[in-house]
């Protein structure tokens, strides 16, 4: 049996925020790749992969479950976004290797396809309702059946310019401030506009990005009920998930949740009590294919669907891992889309293809995606990579920080 000989990390993209794990075996040419990207903590995850590698070098590459359990418990303290991401990257690479050994794509190893392609949802954003309507129509024309609708940035519709906001004399910000009431007023009007002008033929979603106070999350879910959304995403932060019971008591608006979850126990009450409708986590942040497959199976028994998270900071390897899970999971609901620059895709031959609202894997053994290390590294500007992105929080008028 091949053994793990080396685990290396390759940083890519402009700021080096993509971290690709490469697990190299003692068999000539046999290796696997996985995604351990973290937009905010690329260097920290890289160090975590190096630390976890100590326990894996020399182990049988084919014992994925045992290797996962070993790494998960190898540092005693476990879970958390950093360790999950590092483990997720390693885990994907092990599945990639297993597929190559078996001579079949990972989705066939996972039980085989239960759909011919993966429906994805598009991200429509507009500066106002009319602009957003145009974007939604463009997605419909190009084949999309589900479209996420935002006006402006996350929290858009809830921001008040400083001149109109009633700021204190010693205001902490000169940027627009977030106001729950403004958001509660705007977002239902946004969907009223879209439903009135486009109708109910297209399925629509919205991402609250945890901006609301929990009481107002309940109000928004109820106000959106007439517009029959496909789902509302992250209406609550992970700290307030007990409020999903209140939402369920009040309305039928479907709920998608989980991209900030870092511990399997966060899923359990929401799934087993059927308090959400879609489970969302980035496959790498969910500690890889091994654990996300278990989440998908848990969801299946309770009628919950998956909607693995993507997002602009994600990489083509994670996208491919999600695609394989989607292909083989009967609890699949929808897949978030992600688009990359041509030069970025060029560094990842075999990447997933998105056409007409569907994503397609390929039949190459393993994950079906590879990395051209030279091209991947060339995407990175080492000066920019040395300066991690700085977070500027959204604030309310009194200066208090808006989650997340
Ligand atoms: Mg979200």
pLDDT tens digit string along 173-201?
A: 999 999 999 999 999 999 999 999 999 99
Distance in Å, CA 57 to ligand 1 centroid? 36
Supply the pLDDT for residue 382.
86
Tokens (6 digits) for 250: 């009040």
Sign of the four-CA dihedral 284, 286, 288, 294: negative
Q: Please report, to the nearest 10 degrees, the dihedral formed by the alpha carbons of residues 180, 184, 186, 188 taken in order.
A: 160
- 287 touches 35 (CB < 8 A): no
Tokens (6 digits) for 255: 């709920």
Give the C-alpha separation, 50 to 286, whole Å: 19
Say whether 209 is catalytic. Answer: yes
The residue from 39, 41, 154, 193 that is catalytic is 154
- What are the b/e assignments for 10-42, b being 16+ CB within 10 Å? bbbbebbbbbbbbbbbeeeebbbbbbbbbeebb
Q: How far is CA 212 from CA 56, 123, 148, 183, 249, in A?
A: 43, 21, 18, 8, 18
Distance in Å, CA 207 to ligand 1 centroid? 5
Note the pLDDT tens digit of each residue in 221-276.
999 999 999 999 999 999 999 999 999 999 999 999 999 999 989 999 999 999 99
CA 80 to chain centre: 16
Sign of the four-CA dihedral 33, 105, 262, 231: positive
Distance in Å, CA 387 to ligand 1 centroid? 25
- All domains of the chain in start order, with CATH: 109-367 (3.20.20.120)
Tell me the H-state helices in 57-179. 64-73, 81-102, 106-109, 129-141
Distance in Å, CA 304 to ligand 1 centroid? 17
| Residues of the chain where predicted confidence (pLDDT) is lower than 50 | none
**How does DSSP classify residue 225?**
G
Distance in Å, CA 206 to ligand 1 centroid? 9
Give the C-alpha separation, 30 to 28, whole Å: 6
Stretch (H or E) spanning 49:
helix 42-56
Supply the pLDDT for residue 1.
87
Q: How far is CA 291 from CA 197, 262, 267, 268, in A?
A: 42, 11, 12, 13
Give the C-alpha separation, 257 to 238, whole Å: 9
Distance in Å, CA 336 to ligand 1 centroid? 10
CA 391 to chain centre: 19
Stretch (H or E) spanning 126:
strand 118-126
Tokens (6 digits) for 198: 């486009």
Distance in Å, CA 350 to ligand 1 centroid? 27
CB atoms closer than 10 angstroms to residue 179 = 20
The residue from 209, 211, 324, 351 that is catalytic is 209
Distant-in-sequence, close-in-space partners of 263: CB < 8 Å, separation ≥ 6: 79
Stretch (H or E) spanning 264:
helix 264-272
pTM of the model: 0.96
HSE, CB side, 13 Å, CA atoms: give it for residue 347.
22
CA 265 to chain centre: 19
Say whether 154 is catalytic. Answer: yes
Distance in Å, CA 60 to ligand 1 centroid? 37
- Please identify every residue whose CB atom is under 5 Å from ligand 1, which is an ion: 207, 233-234
Give the C-alpha separation, 402 to 396, whole Å: 7
Distance in Å, CA 311 to ligand 1 centroid? 8
């Amino acid at each position: 049996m091949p053994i793990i000989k080396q685990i290396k990390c390759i940083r890519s993209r402009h700021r080096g925020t993509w971290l690709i794990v490469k697990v190299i075996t003692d068999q000539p040419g046999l290796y696997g790749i996985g995604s351990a990207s973290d937009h905010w903590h690329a260097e920290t995850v890289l160090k975590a992969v190096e630390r976890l590698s100590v326990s894996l070098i020399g182990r049988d590459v084919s014992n994925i479950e045992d290797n996962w359990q070993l790494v998960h418990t190898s540092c005693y303290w476990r879970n958390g976004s950093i360790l999950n991401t590092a483990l997720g990257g390693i885990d994907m690479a092990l599945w990639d290797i297993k597929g190559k050994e078996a001579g079949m794509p990972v989705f066939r190893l996972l039980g085989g396809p239960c759909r011919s392609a993966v429906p994805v949802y598009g991200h429509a954003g507009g500066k106002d309702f009319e602009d957003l309507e145009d974007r939604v129509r463009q997605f419909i024309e190009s084949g999309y059946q589900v479209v996420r609708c935002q006006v402006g940035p996350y929290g858009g519709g809830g921001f008040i310019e400083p001149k109109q906001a009633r700021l204190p004399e010693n205001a902490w910000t000169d940027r627009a401030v977030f106001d729950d009431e403004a958001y509660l007023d705007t977002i239902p009007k946004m969907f009223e506009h879209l439903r009135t002008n486009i109708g109910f033929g297209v399925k629509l979603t919205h991402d609250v990005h945890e901006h609301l106070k929990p009481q107002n999350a309940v109000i928004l879910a109820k106000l959106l009920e007439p517009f029959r959304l496909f789902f509302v995403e992250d209406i609550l932060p992970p700290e307030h998930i007990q409020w999903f019971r209140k939402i369920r008591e009040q309305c039928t608006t479907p709920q998608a949740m989980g991209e900030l979850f870092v511990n399997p126990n966060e899923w359990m009450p929401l799934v087993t009590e059927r308090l959400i409708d879609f489970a969302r986590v980035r496959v790498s942040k969910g500690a890889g294919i091994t654990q996300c497959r278990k989440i998908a199976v848990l969801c299946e028994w309770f009628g919950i669907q998956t909607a693995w998270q993507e997002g602009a900071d994600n990489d083509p390897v994670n996208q491919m891992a999600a695609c394989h899970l989607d292909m083989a999971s009967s609890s699949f609901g929808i897949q978030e889309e992600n688009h990359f620059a041509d030069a970025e895709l060029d560094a990842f031959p075999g990447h997933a293809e998105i056409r007409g609202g569907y994503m397609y894997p390929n039949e190459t053994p393993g994950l079906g995606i590879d990395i051209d290390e030279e091209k991947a590294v060339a995407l990175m500007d080492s000066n920019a990579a040395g300066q991690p992105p700085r977070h500027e929080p959204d604030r309310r008028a009194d200066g208090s920080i808006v989650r997340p």
